[in-house]
């Protein structure tokens, strides 16, 4: 599938079935991947869903990312805020261009992609119907995310007890931040590392099928 370069970000779009209630998955890849990386996961999580998969605009020594970091595990939080705004703008333009109904967008992100999806939830409440966050950290780290009304927003989180890239306490911090702002959060902790085990993907697919 060929990538497009309009609407503000390089991306691919795969139409879903003709069902106004079906979600549109905003696929957000991890560091070093691209707009094609999560298409297979999106099809597996919800067959027939529309897939909107952009490429992270930040180049870190040749690796695509969604925002800058100062060093391993330390985010440039000002850049997180700016890039989340850019992604929110793209998502809004794409939803209009592709005829996606309001509140249909569900973000699916892995690692760096999950972190920017979490930033969308905290900084742009109301944009997403929900999000499936795999190996995610609290994107604003020590900064107070501020108020956000996330009532009516569902979030699935998967975190590995052996994850040395995104420690479990970071996932738990994010879950608390989202829950405190009214989101319905399901946390799936597993014994693995910085990966997406098949059993976790299966649990996420069941959760996604239950969204209305």
* Domain hosting residue 197, numbered range: 11-209
Q: Is 190 a catalytic residue?
A: no
Do 68 and 79 form a contact (C-beta atoms < 8 A)? yes
Active-site residue (options: 36, 124, 188, 194): 194
pTM of the model: 0.96
* CATH number for 48: 3.40.50.1820
Has 136 been annotated as catalytic?
no
What is the chain's Cα-based Rg?
A: 15
Q: How many domains would you assign to the chain?
A: 1
Q: Can you give the pLDDT at residue 60?
A: 94
Residue 16 lies in a domain: yes
Catalytic residue among 11, 111, 136, 154: 111
Along the 212 residues of the chain, how does pLDDT read in single tens digits? 778 888 999 999 999 886 666 889 999 999 999 999 999 999 999 998 999 999 999 999 999 999 999 988 899 999 999 999 999 999 999 999 999 876 689 999 999 999 999 999 999 999 999 999 999 999 999 888 889 999 999 999 999 999 999 999 999 999 999 999 999 999 999 999 999 999 999 999 999 999 87
The yes-or-no answer on residue 163 being catalytic is: yes
3 domain-assigned: no
């Amino acid at each position: 599938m060929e990538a497009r370069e309009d609407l503000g970000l390089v991306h691919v779009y795969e139409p879903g079935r003709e069902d106004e209630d079906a979600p549109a998955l905003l696929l957000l890849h991890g560091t070093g991947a691209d707009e094609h990386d999560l298409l297979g996961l999106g099809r597996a999580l919800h067959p027939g869903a529309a897939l909107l998969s952009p490429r992270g605009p930040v180049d870190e020594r040749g690796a695509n990312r969604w925002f800058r970091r100062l060093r391993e595990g330390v985010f440039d939080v000002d850049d997180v805020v700016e890039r989340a705004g850019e992604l929110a703008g793209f998502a809004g333009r794409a939803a209009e261009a592709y005829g996606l109904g309001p509140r249909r967008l569900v973000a699916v992100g892995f690692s760096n992609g999950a972190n920017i999806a979490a930033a969308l939830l905290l900084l742009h409440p109301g944009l997403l119907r929900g999000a499936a966050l795999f190996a995610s950290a609290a994107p604003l780290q020590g900064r107070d995310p501020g108020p956000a009304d996330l009532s009516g927003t569902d979030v699935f989180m998967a975190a590995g007890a052996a994850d040395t890239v995104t420690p479990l306490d970071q996932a738990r911090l994010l879950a608390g931040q989202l829950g405190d702002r009214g989101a319905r959060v399901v946390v799936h902790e597993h014994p693995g590392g910085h990966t997406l085990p098949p059993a976790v993907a299966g649990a996420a697919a069941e959760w996604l099928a239950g969204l209305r």
